[in-house]
A = this chain, B = another copy of it.
């Protein structure tokens, strides 16, 4: 984890590459790698601030900033009108969290500990919320693909905005649920033991600088996607669904694996499922709203994205209802991810 810091050197490198108009592939790779430690720093700064702000505001900050990287990258893709990339990256974040992050955690943790168990009750709230959210998000798309009526574009837009509003409302109610009416369900494990490493001032400064740098690098990244995909031969869809989410989720990814290695499987599972949930209930609606500033983006996913979403949710619920994990389960999650990735690659 600490070694990732060295990647920060790629910030100036990517800036130089961008302004010297070097190959888009080089710009893409350097800015992508630079984002990884920045996302880590942003996460750390948020954690630090929450030590000072108390658990309630801290929890809210963590919930909101947890997917800030994905949100910033998607924002620039939205501005460029790359709707397919934006939607693919929403789906890719969900499947990346459920299949890749959770699978890797189970393999690493499972190689060290024979069977790792976690509290089913705590995970079930998130996993069942994920189920309902994905169903809600999928219905307009299933409706569109099956009913095959030519609707006016304006109707799709209203439908997308209505669904986004409902999703966002559930997000707010979910925060109210977890911070007010049912705050006891969520573990108080972290309480008391946290010591601040940084001063509040330093934390806020790091948060602001990291966010700004992520914004710059995201602009480079998105700007080079199209030229890069042409040069390498990947589809932009593959970049959206596999590569961008891996970059955006790298921080959660390493945290989850570390937790699994410490046999804190509860935390690893909660990171993976909770992060997917935030993508659907917070990032996706916000992107729909933001798209109104440029050109309205519909919430209609394509058929394969739907399948990927539904598969992830079924697996997440199966895993959660189990209450136990082992290396073989992890291997199976990664195998499903690889098969999905191969399909997108040959598209």
Beta-carbon contact of B139 and A340 below 8 Å:
yes
| Most chain B CB neighbours (cut-off 10 Å) among A149, A338, A346 | A346
The reply on A26 being an interface residue by CB < 8 A is no
Interface string of A176-208 (1 = CB under 8 A from B): 010001100000000000000000000000000
Q: Which of B136, B140, B343 contacts A143 (CB 8 A)?
A: B343
Known: A139-B311, A321-B321. A129 touches B332 (CB 8 A): yes
State the Cβ distance, A117 to closest chain B Cβ, in Å: 12
Q: How many copies does the complex hold?
A: 3
The reply on A29 being an interface residue by CB < 8 A is no
| Most chain B CB neighbours (cut-off 10 Å) among A149, A328, A340 | A328
Interface string of A121-157 (1 = CB under 8 A from B): 0001000110111011001101100110101000100
Residues of B near A327 (CB, < 8 A) are 177, 181
The reply on A335 being an interface residue by CB < 8 A is yes
The reply on A342 being an interface residue by CB < 8 A is yes
Q: Which of B140, B143, B336, B346 contacts A135 (CB 8 A)?
A: B336
Q: Which of B132, B147, B322 contacts A315 (CB 8 A)?
A: B132
Cα distance A173–B169 when bound, in Å? 44
Residues of B near A1 (CB, < 8 A) are none
Residues of B near A335 (CB, < 8 A) are 132, 136, 166, 169-170
Cα distance A211–B62 when bound, in Å? 58
Beta-carbon contact of A347 and B147 below 8 Å:
yes
Interface string of A279-311 (1 = CB under 8 A from B): 000000000000000000000001110010001
Beta-carbon contact of A304 and B155 below 8 Å:
no
Cα distance A303–B303 when bound, in Å? 14
Known pairs A136-B335, A163-B339, A177-B327; list 17 more (Cβ under 8 Å).
A114-B181, A115-B182, A124-B322, A129-B332, A131-B318, A132-B333, A135-B336, A139-B340, A139-B343, A140-B339, A146-B302, A146-B307, A158-B346, A159-B346, A166-B338, A173-B328, A181-B327
20 contacts between A and B (CB under 8 A): A124-B322, A128-B322, A131-B314, A131-B315, A132-B333, A132-B335, A135-B314, A142-B307, A146-B307, A147-B304, A149-B347, A158-B346, A159-B342, A159-B343, A163-B339, A166-B338, A170-B332, A173-B331, A177-B327, A181-B327
